[in-house]
Amino acid sequence: TLDAISGGRVIFFYDCGWQEAEVRAYGLDWPSEQERIARMDEGLRLIDALWTSEEPLSFRGQYFHTDEAICRPKPARRPPVWLGEARHDAWVDTLVRHMDGWNSTPASVARLREKLDRVRAGYARAGKDFASLELSLEFQVLIAPTEDEARALALRIAELPASSRGTPRTELVEALRGPSPPPLHELVDDWLVGTPEDVTRRLREYMDLGVSHVMLWFIDFPALDGMRLFAERVAPALRGAR
């Protein structure tokens, strides 16, 4: 339904689950990693069959079964399937069977290159074209008009009490309070940090690796200053670059 009313713009992002506490909180079982991956593999086959079948679908898998199931309305087109990470070769081999797009959690340029090498090797094993894969990366973003303002903002955020699932950023706070703090991008090399020019330059490095889609976490939220600055200064500089 969502794909139909949006004119075919849905991206179907899927995973097998990695946070045991979240799963058990809903009274669900927590199978082994191998079984969770196998369930994901079979589930994606069933979902694709439901999207494309013109007749009621009877499916008999190891984990899932349907008896003349009907999936209406059909999506406007087969939504692209996005999967993520490059945990190990068995995981990548499962992803390669299904995905149209691949996403990474925040990673430095060097770390992303390592992940992409593993995904590329999976495509080679399957005899599939890695160049057809859309690459995506999600980031924390901390952007300000000047480096000094970005550093001051980073310090204010790093000094906030840690959440129940987080840990204090003691080393970051100490570095930012020091007499000669290093550039922000050296302290948090898997973030987009600094001035609009810094962020633009860093994004171009990722684009050179093939990244064409980004998901941005503006960590100065609920303020909208970073989001506005990105929209006004960074996005126009990159628009049409790929």
Q: What is the pLDDT of residues 2-50, one digit of tens each?
A: 999 999 999 999 999 999 999 999 999 999 999 999 999 999 999 999 9
Q: Residue 60 — φ and ψ, nearest 5°? A: -125, 100
The pLDDT tens digits for 101-148 are: 999 999 999 999 999 999 999 999 999 999 999 999 999 999 999 998
Q: Is the pLDDT of residue 150 over 80?
A: yes
pLDDT band at 188 (very low <50, low <70, confident <90, very high): confident
Q: Give strand pairing partners of 66.
A: 59
- Provide the mean pLDDT of the chain: 93
Cα distance between residue 97 and residue 26, in whole Å: 30
Return d(Cα 73, Cα 54) in angstroms, integer: 11
Residue 173 backbone phi and psi in degrees, to 5: -60, -45
Q: Residue type for 3, please?
A: D
pLDDT at residue 235, as a whole number: 94
Dump pLDDT digits (tens) for 98-113. Answer: 999 999 999 999 999 9
Opening angle at CA 212, ends 211 and 216, nearest 5: 90
Q: What token pair was written down for 172?
A: 């970051």
Give Dmax over CA atoms of the chain in angstroms.
70
One-letter amino acid at 134 equals E
C-beta separation of 15 from 23 below 8 A: no
